Amino acid sequence: MNGLLEKVIENWLDSASEKTFQEAFCAMMAAEGHTIVHLTRHCAMELGKDILSISSDGRRCAFQLKGNPKSRLTLRQWRDEVSAQVIDLVAGKLVHPSLPDTSEHHRSFLVTNGDLDEEVTRAIDDMNGAWKQQGLPYKLEVYVRGQLLAMAKSLGEKLWPAELNDAKTLLELFLANGRSSLDKEKFVSLIESTLLLQDLDKAGETSVSGWKRLFSSATLLCAVATSNYRKQNNHVAEIEAWTLLLSHLYAAIDQHSIDPKLVASDLQIARDAVYNCMHKLYEELVTRDSLSEGDPLLDAQYPLLKVRTTWLVGLMSVFYIWRRELDEPSGEIDIKLIDFCRTHHKNMILIGESVIPMFLSTHWLFKWVGIEESSLLLGGLLRGLCELNAPRSEKALASPYYSSEQLIPYFAGVATDPIEDSFGGSSYAIGSVMDLCVRSNWKDLLQATWPDITRIGFKSFQYETPSDMLRWRVKNGTNTEVFQPHTQTWNSLVKSAAGHDGPSIPVALKSSVGFSIIYIMVCAFRMNSDIVRWIDEALLTLQTPKGKGSTKAISP
Amino acid sequence: MLPDYPEIKEKIANLLSDRLRRSMAEKLGFLGQIPKSIIQEGNRHVLIRDDGTTQETPYQKVSSSISITHDEMHSMETNVLFDKIDSAASELASQQAMMTFKTIDNEVSQAGNSVDANGAPFTAELFLNGLEKIQLDFDWVTQRPMLPSLVAHPSNMEKMKLELSRLDEDPTCRSRFESIIAKKKDEWIARESNRKLVG
């Protein structure tokens, strides 16, 4: 079993570019005790340092990654490309707010997944020797393929999937067609198994150091399992994978009472991976003439392009918001993001309740930047849900447990089996959408739609513990369906919609509003009124200058 | 291990599952037309009505077993396997129907909406007594009442149809029926007009 898995790792390492082994390398360093501080986005602003970290003995470290799959770093490559970058790596000052301020010079590493030509090894030795002779504190250290392989294997044979099912799952993901959607159920089963989320006995026996290695193992598994998606630049699939990894890491922290500081690096790696993939997606979108992908004749089949557009507009909307949350400097990127969403939002499709978070993401962007369409979007959603999900409706939107990929065949007319589930007369999203309309003070709209609203059961899932919200599926919990009182007062609705503390929301999600929005896009069945109200309020707070309040009621 | 054929077996399993589902739906009759909702996670279900009352529905298991002898395994033909599936479907449908009627019975008794004939045969008057106790909705467009479905044993079907025809043919029954429908319509209009957001 482990011989096979070692082959998978070797295979992955021998085909990875520097972009595709970055997160995995970080996971391995985290397992060695490093605190990862920064991962590069591989953008034009690259400053010769792909990764910054603090080693277990407190030393600052900088890493430059070079992809040489199944090959060697040649002398020519060293001279033409690498040596200049290495000078900056070694001699340049490390600037990052999370790095300790110390006079001791940092350690510098060149990391390659290939080997070095003898001449390169000699050149590095000579360079280091010269610096030493000059009394400079510079030294270039090197990690090559063999060491990376040993590090990956050394995470421990116990920590790799030991059960046949898990090994099979890893292989299936590793060999998946990177152009398709991520098989989220398969991916989550691998992560849940690694993090012992369903094996409480084994979890109880795991030591503190054991948890650290398990978390690094899960991070490394995510990187390996998604390598084909990364090779295909399937950014959305990667966003989903890293989002699910992060949420399950948080779930494991809560469930097993792990100190988050112990596994901070793995959380950072996953969070940065999500953000970096969003950026890469943006970079791709700005170079494209159209949003079509693959064979245009097949892509023209309804509703493929519309579903893709829905995802992209939703993601670029939240990317704008996340950038504001992180205080990224404003610039051309933000103008382009708004422009993209404004241009393409009319081509979004309400294929099922699973895409409502994408619409809400766009509504929040438009509201943030003051675009009138925000009210049309939200008002349209409420009216749409009232009509489509009325009792006995045959056009009812499928529940958010059905992803857009699952629903496409039914809209394209190529489904082979009917969905044996009924959606008319109830909705998971209507409560959230209604609350947002109430918070926007749209009394007229609510009065007009109230009779229809009372005919629809408000469905939701009540968790036994908040951290269950971070998991793909849970065994225990209550499926609830609530019918609104026939006669209701506006004040009651306002009071209910005003609540935004979100006591049922896990602290992990509350740590970032940007990530929360992405999470409910990836796991739409985890969207509920609590988290939507919390997000809405958090965005207001982010936008509002300190000490001033501002509410904007735009009538639909 | 002996030679196995998992891919073929998976296809066969899907076919048999399909047959089981269709067979069950057929045997359930109109109960099979009640909209179904798939539970994706969790272990409880709670309904909170518009009047604030709650109802928790415990999950109940329906099961049936199929046994095959070693001798049968060597000689069983497909139609025999299908018969066994249909038989299991019958049992499952029967269990599900019993559960459904038991639930309805409990709810109706709690609400005080049951009409007990005390063993007497079905009559138009009995039907009208029941109709008086239930809530009726009306079609918005045609304004016609959405009358309930009646469930009866096949042997009683003809007698019931005969009795129900009295609602139209017997002047007393017709008058009472029309009076009840008019009252129900007023109740419906009042109910619907209560669906409002005030203040």
Q: What is the DSSP string of A59-112?
A: -EEEEEEE--TTSEE-HHHIIIIIHHHHHHHHHSPP--TTS---SSPPEEEEEE
**Buried/exposed A388-402: b ≥16 CB within 10 Å, e otherwise:** bbbeeeeebbbbbbb
Task: Name the average pLDDT for chain A.
Answer: 89
pLDDT digits over A193-204, tens only? Answer: 989 998 888 888
Nearest to A235 by CA among A295, A179, A191: A179
* pLDDT band (50, 70, 90) for residue A102: confident
Asked if A473 and B40 come within 8 Å (Cβ–Cβ), the reply is yes
pLDDT digits over A281-338, tens only? Answer: 999 999 998 999 988 888 888 899 999 999 999 999 999 999 999 999 999 999 999 9
Q: Do A533 and A433 touch, CB atoms closer than 8 A? A: no
pLDDT digits over A441-488, tens only? Answer: 999 999 999 999 999 999 999 999 999 999 999 999 999 999 999 999
* Interface check A327 vs B, CB under 8 A: no
Asked if B42 and A489 come within 8 Å (Cβ–Cβ), the reply is no
**Cα dihedral B73, B77, B78, B80 in deg (nearest 10):** -80
Asked if B199 and A422 come within 8 Å (Cβ–Cβ), the reply is no
* Interface check B43 vs A, CB under 8 A: yes
Task: Name the average pLDDT for chain B.
Answer: 89
State the alpha helices, DSSP H only, in B3-144.
6-28, 70-75, 78-111, 124-133
Which residues, 6 or more positions from A188, have their beta carbon under 8 angstroms from its beta carbon? A244, A248, A471, A472, A473
Can you tell me whether residue B29 is helix, strand or coil?
Answer: helix
Q: In what order do the strands lie in the sheet with B44-48?
A: A426-427, A457-463, A477-482, B44-48, B54-56
Mean pLDDT of A171-189: 93
* Interface check A551 vs B, CB under 8 A: no
Predicted pLDDT of residue A551: 39
State the complex-level ipTM: 0.83
Asked if A477 and B45 come within 8 Å (Cβ–Cβ), the reply is no
CA torsion through residues A425, A431, A437, A438, sign:
positive
DSSP single-letter state for residue A37: E
Among A34-43, A58-67, A365-374, A459-468, name the one with the lowest average pLDDT: A34-43
Chain A / chain B CB contacts < 8 angstroms: 92
Query: What percent of chain B is modeled with pLDDT above 70?
Result: 100
Does the pLDDT at position A17 exceed 90? no
Does the pLDDT at position A220 exceed 90? no
Does the pLDDT at position A161 exceed 70? no
Asked if A525 and B52 come within 8 Å (Cβ–Cβ), the reply is no
Does the pLDDT at position B153 exceed 90? no
pTM over 0.90: no
Can you tell me whether residue B193 is helix, strand or coil?
Answer: helix
All residues of chain A having their beta carbon less than 8 Å from the beta carbon of residue B37 are: 421-422, 426
What's the CA gap between A201 and A215, in Å, rounded? 18
* Interface check B58 vs A, CB under 8 A: no
Q: Are strands A426-427 and B44-48 parallel, antiparallel or unpaired?
A: unpaired
* Interface check B39 vs A, CB under 8 A: yes
All residues of chain B having their beta carbon less than 8 Å from the beta carbon of residue A401 are: 38, 40
Does the pLDDT at position A192 exceed 80? yes
What's the CA gap between B29 and B19, in Å, rounded? 16
Which residues, 6 or more positions from A264, have their beta carbon under 8 angstroms from its beta carbon? A35
* pLDDT band (50, 70, 90) for residue A133: very high
What's the CA gap between A394 and A196, in Å, rounded? 42
Asked if B50 and A485 come within 8 Å (Cβ–Cβ), the reply is yes
Q: Do A400 and A429 touch, CB atoms closer than 8 A? A: yes
* Interface check B40 vs A, CB under 8 A: yes
Q: Tokens 């079993």 map to which residue?
A: A1
Nearest CA-CA distance, residue B13 and chain A, Å: 15
pLDDT digits over B82-132, tens only? Answer: 999 999 999 999 999 998 888 888 888 877 777 777 778 888 998 999 899
What's the CA gap between A430 and A531, in Å, rounded? 14
What's the CA gap between A324 and A239, in Å, rounded? 19
Interface residue of A164, A480, A493, A523 to substitute, partner B, most B CBs within 10 Å: A480
What's the CA gap between A318 and A514, in Å, rounded? 6
Predicted pLDDT of residue A22: 84
Asked if A482 and B48 come within 8 Å (Cβ–Cβ), the reply is yes
What's the CA gap between A31 and A476, in Å, rounded? 33
Predicted pLDDT of residue A48: 67
